[in-house]
Chain A
């Protein structure tokens, strides 16, 4: 059994392995290997490192795989830490570049300037990421405005090593909680901290823990909601892939606080790497007896089991999630009773989101005062966002609550690429809304986002520019929710279908003004009458776009025009004879052979055959193809 003393020994032994700065004594190479890194080619980078180091007889240099550090656009990212030297971050690595880094830097001590983050960013001249004089990632603007609590270890430690986690004060919070504190003290600390649930609703976590603790029963459960349903977000996955032990530790603390001995992590089956890392983390924690019977020599026992979802968005909703773990169809049920009183198999059940749990260990160690000093009064702490869409620096950011949308989008995110104009930012996923430029200076916190017609949600933040049609975006979300409705109650099952039909009608150029009014009325009806959160929030994308972008709906209906040039019914591609040089590229790429012509003479498009895919326009180097209606404004 691991005692507190043994944990300290591990901390000392592994101190150097996790050291990021100059006082380290061993050479290390860190490669970010989360799903995004692998997609960008991290695995071939690692094997090239292995091969090069072997050839040079330097195979004792450790190559550590870490989680995602958050700057997706620069993957694969490699940190080289040589003894007594500053860390150097190389980005957009390839096997070719690895050869040079090994021979110049690792072997001969000469940093390969042109591959460092500084050099690459200076050349890209990316706002937000640029203006640094450092070869270190942490000093880039992208990071300076961030505050990392939930992502503290992501990209720093090897997620498959419990020792590295322990070395960075892992399991200290558990030790403190179960040895020095009573259950009630843990709950009180959480209440004082003001932490609110990061899964979307924003309910005060301390209260939820208190309700579950007070519910009398011989059996209780702790559930971690890792279903991450928002179709444009991946914060929870990054935490699980980058720092799985922190979630196990927090769930164990929760078990102690509420009086549960069993935990479940409900995770999407579509996240195979996160599943694999969690399985590994659980087995390591069991081996160290940090899960199991009589943890750290106390009489508290706790165990965690993984349960895989199966591709149903509604299972992110807590009552549906409970049904799903029980092995049923994931359909929501009426609340109350709340899970805190009657959850899994009718027993009191505490359900929290991954990121909520990711805040717990720090809070136990540093106290509620510390936590309250970050963020705003009503929304203390930080929030992780998955920043994506039409933005220069896509990736994962953790910011103190109260940071403005402008700061995130323009300073951290580097603004909109290709000199396009900002149109809206979408938060809250399918339950949220689109926020226009007029609200760009709004602070990010639960209450402000709700007040401006969106919501915090779980952390998707998608930026849209002038080329996105807001009616089409609303339709996208309605397609999603109507497909995902569990079908239990009619406002949601039938209502979302009707909303989708009306939106489709409008985007196909067949809409009327009454349709717009009907959309609005029906939306309010669904919100008022649906049984669970899915249906109650499903109309939000429609309502928020109607509120801020009604003119786009009206243009579709009255003028048969899609301002952004997205809706195909209003679009036609034509070739400008004066610009066309007759190269024939367009005819070759057209998937339906709608383009014909004679080489060196202007080509033409058969409008009957054209499916308006735009492939020709993408390929034409002479800007000879025109998309009528695009950008034609009043």
Chain B
């Protein structure tokens, strides 16, 4: 039983790896291909796992140290897996002056995690983001792709319940 499971899991990863390889094919010949490649990997895996970065290194012939340097420079890239739902709190200026900090604090206390981390059960990642262009509805948060606007901190528990 144990063995069977393991073998499936391996198959799973190699499938994703194949998909990643496939995605990289179009990019290979381009000038400045590294960042587009990292975007592709992140869209396949949701983050940048080591095995995929090794693949990028091989395919694009770029040393892994350089890839790590680039990946860690940009905040959009994540070297860690993220939660099932990503909660982004807009800390753009318009939201900030309308009390976005309180919203972030409330979320942080409701979820019991700091900004930038993931709940233990892997359900939520809480992160701050910049203007998402819904300033008219400030303060706003975005859970996955859905935007919630004109919030006050006591709306938070109700919104979280939708995802529990």
Residue numbers of A with Cβ under 8 A of B are 34-36, 38-40, 71-73, 75, 230-234, 237-238, 269-271, 307-312, 324-330, 345, 386, 388-390, 394-395, 426, 429, 460, 462, 464, 468, 473, 476, 486, 589, 591-592, 611, 613-615, 618-619
Answer yes or no: B38 CB below 8 A from chain A CBs: yes
Q: Which one of B77, B92, B109, B136 lies within 8 Å of A591 (CB-CB)? A: B109
Q: How distant is B1 from chain A, measured CB to nearest CB, in Å?
A: 42
**In the complex, which residue of chain A has the Cβ closest to the Cβ of B134?**
A39
With A327-B32, A591-B109: A462-B134 Cβ-Cβ less than 8 Å: no
With A39-B134, A329-B73: A345-B97 Cβ-Cβ less than 8 Å: no
With A40-B149, A591-B109: A310-B93 Cβ-Cβ less than 8 Å: no
Pair B106/A329 contact, Cβ less than 8 Å: no
Known pairs A72-B134, A327-B34; list 11 more (Cβ under 8 Å): A35-B132, A40-B134, A40-B149, A72-B137, A231-B91, A232-B96, A237-B133, A328-B34, A390-B97, A394-B94, A462-B94
A592 vs B105: C-alpha distance in the bound complex, in angstroms? 12
Q: How distant is B147 from chain A, measured CB to nearest CB, in Å?
A: 4
- List, in ascending order, chain A residues with CB within 8 A of B98's CB: 389-390
Q: Which one of A71, A345, A613 lies within 8 Å of B31 (CB-CB)? A: A345
With A231-B93, A307-B36: A36-B134 Cβ-Cβ less than 8 Å: yes
A149 vs B100: C-alpha distance in the bound complex, in angstroms? 33
**In the complex, which residue of chain A has the Cβ closest to the Cβ of B136?**
A72
Q: How distant is A368 from chain B, measured CB to nearest CB, in Å?
A: 33
Pair A394/B138 contact, Cβ less than 8 Å: yes
Answer yes or no: B131 CB below 8 A from chain A CBs: yes
Pair A72/B32 contact, Cβ less than 8 Å: no
With A329-B73, A473-B97: A618-B147 Cβ-Cβ less than 8 Å: no
A426 vs B149: C-alpha distance in the bound complex, in angstroms? 22
Answer yes or no: B39 CB below 8 A from chain A CBs: yes
- List, in ascending order, chain B residues with CB within 8 A of A426's CB: 93
A88 vs B34: C-alpha distance in the bound complex, in angstroms? 50
Q: Which one of A71, A230, A386, A462 lies within 8 Å of B97 (CB-CB)? A: A462
Answer yes or no: B102 CB below 8 A from chain A CBs: yes
Interface residues as binary, B27-47 with A (CB distance below 8 Å gives 1, 0 otherwise): 000011111101100000000
Q: Which one of A71, A234, A329 lies within 8 Å of B131 (CB-CB)? A: A234
**In the complex, which residue of chain B has the Cβ closest to the Cβ of A483?**
B75
A550 vs B138: C-alpha distance in the bound complex, in angstroms? 28
With A36-B134, A270-B130: A464-B97 Cβ-Cβ less than 8 Å: yes
Pair A311/B76 contact, Cβ less than 8 Å: yes
Answer yes or no: B54 CB below 8 A from chain A CBs: no
Answer yes or no: B119 CB below 8 A from chain A CBs: no
Q: Which one of A270, A327, A389, A473 lies within 8 Å of B35 (CB-CB)? A: A327
Q: How distant is B24 from chain A, measured CB to nearest CB, in Å?
A: 14
A626 vs B93: C-alpha distance in the bound complex, in angstroms? 27
- List, in ascending order, chain B residues with CB within 8 A of A591's CB: 106, 109-110
Answer yes or no: B64 CB below 8 A from chain A CBs: no
**In the complex, which residue of chain B has the Cβ closest to the Cβ of A235?**
B133
Interface residues as binary, B44-74 with A (CB distance below 8 Å gives 1, 0 otherwise): 0000000000000000000000000110011
Q: How distant is A543 from chain B, measured CB to nearest CB, in Å?
A: 17
Interface residues as binary, B78-109 with A (CB distance below 8 Å gives 1, 0 otherwise): 00000000000001111111100010011001
Answer yes or no: B14 CB below 8 A from chain A CBs: no
12 CB contacts below 8 A, A to B, read A40-B136, A233-B131, A312-B74, A326-B32, A327-B70, A328-B70, A345-B31, A390-B97, A462-B94, A464-B97, A486-B73, A615-B154
Answer yes or no: B152 CB below 8 A from chain A CBs: yes
A502 vs B147: C-alpha distance in the bound complex, in angstroms? 35
With A231-B92, A326-B32: A310-B74 Cβ-Cβ less than 8 Å: yes
A39 vs B110: C-alpha distance in the bound complex, in angstroms? 24
Pair B153/A618 contact, Cβ less than 8 Å: yes
Q: How distant is B130 from chain A, measured CB to nearest CB, in Å?
A: 4
Pair A389/B134 contact, Cβ less than 8 Å: no
Interface residues as binary, B127-158 with A (CB distance below 8 Å gives 1, 0 otherwise): 00111111111101000000101001110000
A325 vs B153: C-alpha distance in the bound complex, in angstroms? 40
- List, in ascending order, chain A residues with CB within 8 A of B140's CB: 39
Pair A389/B154 contact, Cβ less than 8 Å: no
With A231-B91, A615-B154: A325-B32 Cβ-Cβ less than 8 Å: yes
**In the complex, which residue of chain A has the Cβ closest to the Cβ of B77?**
A310
A261 vs B105: C-alpha distance in the bound complex, in angstroms? 50
A38 vs B140: C-alpha distance in the bound complex, in angstroms? 13
With A234-B133, A330-B74: A307-B93 Cβ-Cβ less than 8 Å: no
Q: How distant is B44 from chain A, measured CB to nearest CB, in Å?
A: 15
Q: How distant is B100 from chain A, measured CB to nearest CB, in Å?
A: 10
- List, in ascending order, chain A residues with CB within 8 A of B138's CB: 388-389, 394
- List, in ascending order, chain B residues with CB within 8 A of A486's CB: 73
Pair A36/B93 contact, Cβ less than 8 Å: no
Pair B137/A36 contact, Cβ less than 8 Å: yes
A464 vs B95: C-alpha distance in the bound complex, in angstroms? 11
Q: How distant is A519 from chain B, measured CB to nearest CB, in Å?
A: 20
With A232-B131, A234-B133: A309-B76 Cβ-Cβ less than 8 Å: yes
Pair A307/B35 contact, Cβ less than 8 Å: yes
Pair B134/A231 contact, Cβ less than 8 Å: no
Pair A269/B76 contact, Cβ less than 8 Å: yes
- List, in ascending order, chain A residues with CB within 8 A of B77's CB: 310-311
- List, in ascending order, chain A residues with CB within 8 A of B106's CB: 591, 613, 615
Question: Which of B35, B74, B97 has the most C-beta atoms of chain A within 10 angstroms of its own C-beta?
Answer: B97
Q: How distant is A405 from chain B, measured CB to nearest CB, in Å?
A: 17
Pair A311/B75 contact, Cβ less than 8 Å: yes
With A310-B35, A389-B97: A329-B102 Cβ-Cβ less than 8 Å: no
- List, in ascending order, chain B residues with CB within 8 A of A388's CB: 93-94, 135-136, 138
- List, in ascending order, chain B residues with CB within 8 A of A230's CB: 93, 131
- List, in ascending order, chain B residues with CB within 8 A of A75's CB: 136
- List, in ascending order, chain A residues with CB within 8 A of B93's CB: 230-232, 388-389, 426, 429, 460, 462, 476
